[in-house]
């Protein structure tokens, strides 16, 4: 069974940093691109970062470019997202998924395998 488990979400002050982790199992992690997707309260899905299977190619959504960094450790079947310079606009549930960018969802429907999500709340 394909499974993704996110962790690392927390309450953090504006300007702070956080690192999210995603543990993968049940599929060939090193052969799959991986995406971080977030959903803010009352809003739709938004992909924020994607990496190809080897980790050498990454892309970021405009809202997080220059502040977030995606990385992966294929030896450990782990995906990460470093979040810096957080703002209240980053408050959301963050998911990892084994898919590519906006193709991870269609409207409110998830495509591919997703984790259960981890909550990031940015507030003073």
- Segment 52-107, tens digit of pLDDT: 999 999 999 999 999 999 999 999 999 999 999 999 999 999 999 999 988 999 98
pLDDT band at 121 (very low <50, low <70, confident <90, very high): very high
The number of beta carbons lying within 10 Å of the beta carbon of residue 7 is: 12
pLDDT for position 109: 93
Task: Tell me how far apart the alpha carbons of residues 63 and 95 are, in angstroms, rounded to a whole number.
Answer: 16
Q: Write the DSSP symbol of residue 91.
A: -
pLDDT for position 122: 98
- Between 102 and 43, the more confident residue is 43
Tell me, rounded to whole angstroms, the distance of Cα 38 from its chain centroid: 7
pLDDT for position 35: 98
């Amino acid at each position: 069974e394909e499974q993704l488990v996110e962790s690392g979400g927390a309450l953090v002050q504006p300007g702070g940093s956080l690192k999210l982790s995603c543990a993968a199992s049940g599929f060939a992690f090193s052969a799959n691109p991986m995406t971080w997707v977030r959903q803010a309260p009352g809003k739709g899905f938004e992909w924020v970062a994607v990496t190809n299977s080897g980790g050498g190619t990454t892309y970021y959504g405009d809202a997080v470019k220059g502040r977030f960094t995606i990385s992966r450790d294929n030896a450990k079947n782990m995906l990460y997202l470093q979040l810096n310079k957080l703002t209240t606009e980053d408050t959301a549930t963050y998911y990892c998924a084994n898919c590519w960018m906006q193709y991870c969802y269609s409207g409110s429907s998830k495509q591919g395998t997703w984790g259960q999500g981890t909550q990031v709340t940015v507030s003073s």
